[in-house]
Amino acid sequence: MRILPVLAVASLASVFMAAPAVASPPSSGPTATGYGGAVATVDPTATAVGLDVLRRGGNAVDAAVAAAATLGVTEPFSAGIGGGGFFVYYDAKHRRVSTIDGREAGPATMTSTYFIDRADGLPYDFPEARVSGLSVGVPGTLATWESAARSWGTRSLASLLRPAAEVADRGFPVDATFRQQIADNADAFGQFDATSELYLPGGQPPAVGSTQRNPDLADTYRLIARKGTDVLYRGAVARDIVRAVQHPPVSADPIGTWAYPIRPGALTLQDLARYDVRRPAPTRSDFRGLSVYGMSTPSSGGTAVSEALNILEKVNPTDLTQVLHTYLEASALSFADRGRYVGAYTPQKILDKLVSDRWAGQRACQISSSSALPKPVPPGDINARGCTPATVGGPTEQGQSTTNLTVADKWGNVVEYTLTIEQTGGNAVVVPGRGFLLNNELTDFNFTNTQAPAADPNLPGPGKRPRSSMSPTIVLKDGKPFLALGSPGGATIITTVLQILVNRLILGQSLPAAMAAPRASQRNTAGIQAEPAFHTTYGPLLTPLGHSFAADVPELGAATAIELTRGGGFIASSEPVRRGGGAAGVVHPNR
C-alpha cells in the first residue's frame, strides 16, 4: 500500500481534465460507506484518482480506467500496460452485464511443445521459462482500457491517463511491501539494466520512505495520450517490446546471480498488430435467488465459482462446520473439472453444462457430511449421468501477482476489473526507455499434458490465450447490482472470491467481515492451503472430517468489493491487512 501525502492527493484534481482544483478527498481506509459512487483498490493513490473522476462527473468505467492506469505506476509488479486482464461491466441503462477479455495472447508460431527444451526433451524449470522472452504474451491491458472507454465511458482515454502520468512523474513514497517485492525479485531484476536502474538504485531495493519516480512511464502514458493505442500495437512502443522479447536486454554487468540462460522469445510485430480484445458473453448462474455473473474463457474463474456455488446450494449445509466442509469439497470438485475441461477453446455447451444445476447435482452427490473425499478427486464425466467420475486430473498452477479494483457510480453502473502481469515482477524485463514491466503470462499454459490420456485444454497453441483463474464477479438481485468483488492470488483467486461469497451469502457476515475473515484454499490437493488464523480456528472442526492442512501461508488474496445498499448507498471494502492493506472510498460519506 502506498500512502500519498494529502497535498499530493489534492493536486490530482488539477490533472483530470484541466478543471479547477478541488478539496482533497477524505482519507481512505479498508471500509467506506456513503453515496454518490465508490471505489475500492489495493492502493490509496489509485482510489483517490478514481474518486476524483467520479466527483467530476465521470462514470464507473472512466474511474476504473484512470485507477487502473495509476495502479500501473504504484503497483507495477502486479499490473500495468505490459500485461492483461478481464473487465466485467454492469450497464445500468440497459441492465446488462458485459465483459472484455484483455488476456495476453501467444505468438502465431507457438506450438504445444513451446516450453520443452529441445536439448533434453524436458520442460523448462519455471524460473527459466519466466525470466525470458518465451513467457511474454501480447499485452492486452491498453486495448482493454481503450475498448471500455469507447464503449461505455464518457471521457477520452487520453484524459484518463493524465493523473497516472502525474503520479509517475511526481513519485510516491516506497512502503515495506513495495520494497519487499523488489527484494524478492532482486536477482531476476538485476539481470537487466533498465529494470535495475528503476528498481535497484545503487544495487539495492529502494529504502522505505524514499520517493519512487518513473519518468519513462509518464512519458509513455503521454505518448499514448497523444498518438493513441496504436503506438503500443503497431508503433514505436511495439518495436521496443518486440526487441526486448526477441533480444532480452541482458546486462553486461548484472546485479546478483541467475542460474538459467535468459532465452529469447518468438513474439513479433505482426502478433502485436493482430491483437484485439474479445467480448465473450459472461458466465451466469443462480444462487439463492441471486444472479451470479463472471468471466468466461480463457478465464476459468466464472465457471469454477459458479459450479462451486451450485454445489453448495445443492448440499445446503446449515451449520458453520458443514458450510466450511462443503466449501472445501465443492472447491476441490470444481478445480478437478476446471483442469479437465476448461481452456481458451472450451466449447460453449461444455461451459454451460459446468455451470448448470444438473451438473452440480452430479458432483454434489459425492460429498459426505461425515468425511472428506480423498484428494485429488477425479473430474466428473461430462458425458455421463449420476456420480460417475472420469480420469483423475493433474496439478494446479500457482501464479500469484495480480491486482483488482471495484468501482460503482451514482447511476448504478458497476465495474469489476482484475488485471495482471502474472508473477510478481512479471518476466523481470522493464522495456528500455518505456518504464513498464513485461508479463510472463504464457507460463500460465501447462508445459506438458496434465490430463493424459485425455487432452489437456490448456496446452500452448498458435495465438492462444492461456487459462486464467481471475474471477471478477458481479452479483445481481432482482436484476440490479447487489455485490461486486474480485481478488489477486493466482489459482487461489477462485477460492478467495468463493469464500467471500460464502461468508456473505451463506454465513450472513457483513461485507467487511466477510473480507477480513481468515481464508483457506482447497484446489484439489492433498493438503489445504490456509492462513494461520483459519488453521488454528477451524482446523479442530475440520480435521475430524478427514481434511488435512499443508504448510500455512501468511495470506491469501487481496480482494476489493462494493455492496450496493437500499436507497442508493454503497459499502466499499478492501483488505484491512493483506498486502499491506487496501483503500476504499466513497464520493459522499453522508447524504
Contact call for residues 266 and 115 (beta carbons, < 8 A): no
- How far apart are alpha carbons 587 and 567 in whole angstroms? 15
Name the one residue in this structure whose C-alpha cell is 478465464.
299
Q: Helices in 481-531 by DSSP H: which ranges?
A: 492-501, 511-516
Virtual CA dihedral for 235, 239, 242, 246, nearest 10 degrees? 160
10 Å Cβ neighbour count for 264? 14
- Using a 10 angstrom Cβ sphere, with 0-12 exposed, 13-18 middle and 19 or more buried, the burial of residue 168 is buried
- How far apart are alpha carbons 76 and 178 in whole angstroms? 9
Among 329, 332, 300, which residue's Cα sits nearest to residue 314? 329
Q: Helices in 212-300 by DSSP H: which ranges?
A: 215-227, 230-233, 236-246, 269-274
Give the 3-state secondary structure of residue 455.
Answer: coil
- How far apart are alpha carbons 332 and 334 in whole angstroms? 6
- How far apart are alpha carbons 123 and 115 in whole angstroms? 6
Contact call for residues 46 and 19 (beta carbons, < 8 A): no
- How far apart are alpha carbons 318 and 259 in whole angstroms? 52
Question: CB within 8 A of 155, min separation 6: which ones?
Answer: 17, 53, 58, 62, 149
> How far from 474 is each of 293, 451, 471, 539, 581, CA to CA, in Å?
5, 31, 10, 31, 23
Give the 3-state secondary structure of residue 313.
Answer: helix
Give the H or E element holding residue 471: none
- The packing angle between helices 236-246 and 215-227, to 10°, is 130
Active site residues: 402
Chain center to CA of 24: 29
Buried b (16+ CB within 10 A) or exposed e, 220-233: bbbbbbeebbebbb
